[in-house]
């Protein structure tokens, strides 16, 4: 199993696949989960969602949280199995109860929008917070949004800014865009068009069309020197997170 992990990390997927298969057939839950990941992503083998589901299920039934989260995702999106939000909810919850941050955030989302479960904003906040407290950027963004809009918690712009910033510092485009808005209009933070421009600029490439409109709007209120300063700030490195080969 360890040889498979090392091979995966150095991107020798052929060796990783071979090692994981041996361990998975012997009932190793982590190997089964990683085999599911490889069939899902097509690393070292042709992508096959049904085969991915097969191995995720074997692993998930042994309580391996990564596989439970992944199996939930397969049911949520209808990949390799019919789409089933209630089944997705079950596997996300099993994984979330073990502390898996991504599953916790997915569970929060399902409660926020009432998918597979009655809509419950307070429950959504609960799960977003559990995930956000572990540093998961997307959950931090959603938790910021809940405070921003007063969904499941009293509206609190300062708290929203705090969570948006944590997420934005990890490269979350949604959080960067929303943080730009908070600076532009002085919500939860002192109004600062230079900082607003900086955050919008960071979100520009992958953000919604409204980002470009915001940048154009701000350019009419800023001097060329202020725009240059905002652009300089936007080029400074952020604390961008990264995916790990083995996530538990």
Q: Could you read off the pLDDT of 15-65 as tens digits, one per residue? A: 999 999 999 999 999 999 999 999 999 999 999 999 999 999 999 999 999
Could you tell me if residue 208 is inside a domain? yes
Question: In which band, very low, low, confident or very high, does the pLDDT at 1 lie, cut at 50, 70 and 90?
Answer: confident
Q: How many residues does the chain have?
A: 248
Residue 244, pLDDT above cutoff 80: no
Give the contacts of 237 (CB within 8 A, at least 6 positions apart). none
Does residue 212 lie within any of the structural domains?
Answer: yes
* Helix or strand holding residue 16 (H, E): helix 13-25
Count structural domains, the chain: 1
Whole-angstrom CA distances from 123 to 36, 94, 135, 152 are 30, 16, 19, 8
168 part of a folded domain: yes
- Domain membership flag for residue 142: no
pLDDT for position 236: 64
Least confident range from 74-88, 110-124, 193-207, 224-238: namely 224-238
In this structure, is residue 214 part of a structural domain?
Answer: yes
Give the separation between CA 189 and CA 220, rounded to whole angstroms.
21
> Tokens 């956000």 label which residue?
132
Whether residue 138 has pLDDT greater than 60: yes
Token pair recorded at residue 161: 């800014």
- Is the separation of the CB atoms in 99 and 68 below 8 Å? no
Residues 73-92, mean pLDDT to the nearest whole number: 97
Other Cβ atoms less than 10 A from the Cβ of 205: the count is 8
Cβ-proximal residues to 204 (8 Å cutoff; 6+ apart), any chain: 211, 212, 215
Q: What is the pLDDT of residue 239?
A: 37
Answer yes or no: are the C-beta atoms of 238 and 169 closer than 8 Å.
Answer: yes
Q: Which domain holds residue 227?
A: 156-241
Q: CA angle, 124 as apex, 166 and 151 as ends, to 5°?
A: 80
Within a domain: residue 181? yes
**Rounded mean pLDDT of the chain?**
92
DSSP state at residue 44? S
User: What CA–CA distances, in Å, run from 163 to 85, 128, 150, 159, 243?
Assistant: 28, 11, 14, 6, 21
Q: Is the pTM of this model over 0.85?
A: yes
Residue 88 falls within a domain, yes or no?
no
User: How confident is the model at residue 232, as a pLDDT?
Assistant: 82
Tell me if 20 is assigned to some domain. no
Question: Which percentage of the chain shows pLDDT scores above 90?
Answer: 83
- Compare 69 and 241 and report the one with higher pLDDT: 69
Which of 71-84 are b and which e, b meaning 16 or more Cβ less than 10 Å from the residue's Cβ? bbbbbbeeebbeee
């Amino acid at each position: 199993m360890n040889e498979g992990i090392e091979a995966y990390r150095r991107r020798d997927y052929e060796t990783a696949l071979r090692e994981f298969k041996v361990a998975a057939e012997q009932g190793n839950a982590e190997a089964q989960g990683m085999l599911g990941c490889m069939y899902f992503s097509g690393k070292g083998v042709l992508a096959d969602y049904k085969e991915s589901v097969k191995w995720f299920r074997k692993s998930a039934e042994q309580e391996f949280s990564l596989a439970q989260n992944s199996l939930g995702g397969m049911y949520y999106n209808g990949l390799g199995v019919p789409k089933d939000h209630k089944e997705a909810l079950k596997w996300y919850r099993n994984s979330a109860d073990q502390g898996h941050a991504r599953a916790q955030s997915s569970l929060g989302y399902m409660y926020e929008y009432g998918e597979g479960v009655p809509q419950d904003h307070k429950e959504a906040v609960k799960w977003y917070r559990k995930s956000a407290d572990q540093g998961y950027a997307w959950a931090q963004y959603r938790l910021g949004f809940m405070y921003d809009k007063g969904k499941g918690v009293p509206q609190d712009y300062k708290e929203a800014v705090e969570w948006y910033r944590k997420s934005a510092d990890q490269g979350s485009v949604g959080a960067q865009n929303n943080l730009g808005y908070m600076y532009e209009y002085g919500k939860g933070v002192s109004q600062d068009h230079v900082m607003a421009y900086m955050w919008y600029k960071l979100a520009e490439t992958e953000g919604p069309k409204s980002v470009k409109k915001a940048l154009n709007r701000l350019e009419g209120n800023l001097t060329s020197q202020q725009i240059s300063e905002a652009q300089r700030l936007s080029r400074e490195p952020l604390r961008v997170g990264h995916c790990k080969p083995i996530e538990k």
